[in-house]
Amino acid sequence: MSNLAILPILLPFLTGILTAFFHKKLPLVRSITIIMSIVTLLTSLYIANIVFTDAPILLEAGDWMAPFGIVLVADGLAMTLVIVTDLIAVACAIYAMRSLDEERERFYFYTFFQLLIAGVSGAFLTGDLFNLFVFFEVLLMASYGLIILGGTKEQLRESLKYVLINVFSSMLFVTTVAFLYSVTGTLNMAHLAERVQLAEQQGILTTISILLFLVFATKGALFPLYFWLPKSYAVPNPVISALFGALLTKVGVYSILRVFTLIFIYKTDITHELFIILAGITMLMGVVGALSTYNVKLIVAYNIIPAVGFMIMGIGIYNETALSGTVYYLIHDMIVKGALFLLAGAMIKITGTADLRKMGGLIRNHQLLAWLFLIATVTLAGIPPFSGFIGKFLLIKGGFENGNYIIVGMALLSSLLILLSVLRIFINGFWGEAKLEPHEEKGSEKGMILPITLLLTFSVLLGIGAEWFIPYVEQITETLTDPSIYVNTVLKES
């Protein structure tokens, strides 16, 4: 029973090992990956069903009791994010077959891909700070392999920056964990929460919490630590960019959400105020970046940054409405960023260029692609009834409840600019005279429509069926606003 909590990590990991054995036999590897991705998704749905109807699942690895062994905690928030991760994995597995050339597929693409999914799921599920670091490294190592896959000149240049910044932030992570361990004497998150509460979060603990925030802010690309992100996400193959854009920064956001709603919650006038200020600047700087370029992938990559700002803003405001807004926006943003990168990949495949000024009139020959892109655009900008609206609405409502009017104004302004930045892709790329006749096109989007539709269908459902999702989000928010629920699950105190 408790072993269920390991399955979302174990299944992708096993798939990764299996595909490493047969990496030359492409049809076999492709079918293994797709079947196992779908199996993982179904398993996660089954586990989430148990978690939401019954109680969070706690796995004490190796039968060691909670503060002494490593625990995996499958609660509502973790399982929801795991489901979204698995959904994106299914879409990317289908997309990869059309998008990647055979040489790259043969060189362990599916192994790296599945290990990335295993690392992300592990980071969501773990209940131990050092184990979180290990899963960060698992997903980062896999992402190093993916970003360099193919070995073009741009990839080499950008991966060097990417690896350097991540090695540095991982080093800071270990140092911070060491500080925290020397002060509290434990690494289990629930136990940490208890001990920080006992110490009433004295000065040194707040310092450590801000160091930890800097680590996660580097992984999650917040101002002023986002400079590495846009270019390094734009250079690899679109399907790899989609995986990165949808999953990697969100793990950083999730860690901030977990740590600053569970452990460090007693000096909110210092920590959470800081979040609000940084979130505001992050939103505007990200959007300015998105407006500054004509490269399709770079525009989408820059759009990750304001979204991270929105989520951190919700954590900074720190009331029930804003936190449910953050959770809703996190789910929505993972899906829609994945879809946008896949759409940009399809556009690049057709036109053979990433430069908007060289595209035009794609809607004449590719109606379906164009309408899908329009849906993704309005979803991203937060136009009702699509999913971006509900998250932003809750965030802004939460901001008004706490009287943070300036950040709300900045959020609304940046939403407008986000819409402008993506509509520029739509107007320049899809409208106007067709620049390429059907026979001049460099490739077709055949086989790419299915995974994009899969993601966007879920995204639209998330918006239209909000009534159906809200109870789950409220249940998650309840555990976020009351850390004792989490602590009691892990440490089993009555």
Partner 1 sequence: MKTNDLILKMTTTMIAFVILAFSFYLFFAGHNAPGGGFIGGLMTSAAFVLMYLTYGFGTMKKVVVINFRTLIPIGLTVAVGTAMGSFLFGVPFLSHTFKHLHDIPLLGDPEVATAMLFDLGVYLTVIGVTMTIILSIAEDA
**What tokens were used for 345?**
């990949």
Min dist. Cβ of residue 134 to partner 1 (A): 14
Nearer to partner 1, 58 or 411 (CB): 58
Nearer to partner 1, 146 or 221 (CB): 146
Min dist. Cβ of residue 166 to partner 1 (A): 20
By the 8 A CB rule, do 290 and 451 touch? no
By the 8 A CB rule, do 56 and 306 touch? no
Task: Look at residues 246, 438, 411, 227 and name the one whose alpha carbon lies nearest to residue 344.
Answer: 246
Min dist. Cβ of residue 6 to partner 1 (A): 5
State the Cα–Cα distance between residues 459 and 241, nearest whole angstrom. Answer: 19
Min dist. Cβ of residue 61 to partner 1 (A): 4
By the 8 A CB rule, do 395 and 351 touch? no
Nearer to partner 1, 17 or 160 (CB): 17
By the 8 A CB rule, do 414 and 287 touch? yes
Site for partner 1 in 353-412 (CB under 8 A): none
State the Cα–Cα distance between residues 59 and 246, nearest whole angstrom. Answer: 27
Helices 320-351 and 387-402, axial angle in degrees (round to 10): 150
State the Cα–Cα distance between residues 93 and 448, nearest whole angstrom. Answer: 11
Nearer to partner 1, 62 or 403 (CB): 62
Min dist. Cβ of residue 45 to partner 1 (A): 20
Min dist. Cβ of residue 70 to partner 1 (A): 8
Three-state SS for 263?
coil
Min dist. Cβ of residue 60 to partner 1 (A): 6
Site for partner 1 in 22-81 (CB under 8 A): 59-63
How many chain residues are in contact with partner 1, going by CB under 8 A? 15
Site for partner 1 in 317-356 (CB under 8 A): none
- Please give the distance of CA 384 from its chain centroid, rounded to a whole number: 23
Site for partner 1 in 2-21 (CB under 8 A): 2-3, 6, 10, 13-14, 17-18, 20-21
Q: Which residues contact 335 (CB under 8 A, 6 or more apart)?
A: 84, 87, 88, 246, 387, 455, 458, 459, 462
**Segment interacting with partner 1 (CB under 8 A) among 1-9, 185-193, 401-409, 479-487:** 1-9
Min dist. Cβ of residue 5 to partner 1 (A): 8
Nearer to partner 1, 13 or 318 (CB): 13
**What tokens were used for 133?**
């670091």
Nearer to partner 1, 15 or 428 (CB): 15
Nearer to partner 1, 2 or 365 (CB): 2
Nearer to partner 1, 57 or 418 (CB): 57
Min dist. Cβ of residue 222 to partner 1 (A): 34
- b/e per residue 287-315 (b: at least 16 CB within 10 A): bebbeebebbbbbbbbbbbbbbbbbbbbb
By the 8 A CB rule, do 332 and 84 touch? no
Q: Which residues contact 379 (CB under 8 A, 6 or more apart)?
A: 332, 336, 386, 387, 388, 456, 459, 460, 463
Three-state SS for 60?
strand
302 binds partner 1 (CB under 8 A): no
Nearer to partner 1, 5 or 265 (CB): 5
By the 8 A CB rule, do 48 and 77 touch? no
Q: Give the residues lining the site for partner 1 (CB under 8 A).
A: 2-3, 6, 10, 13-14, 17-18, 20-21, 59-63
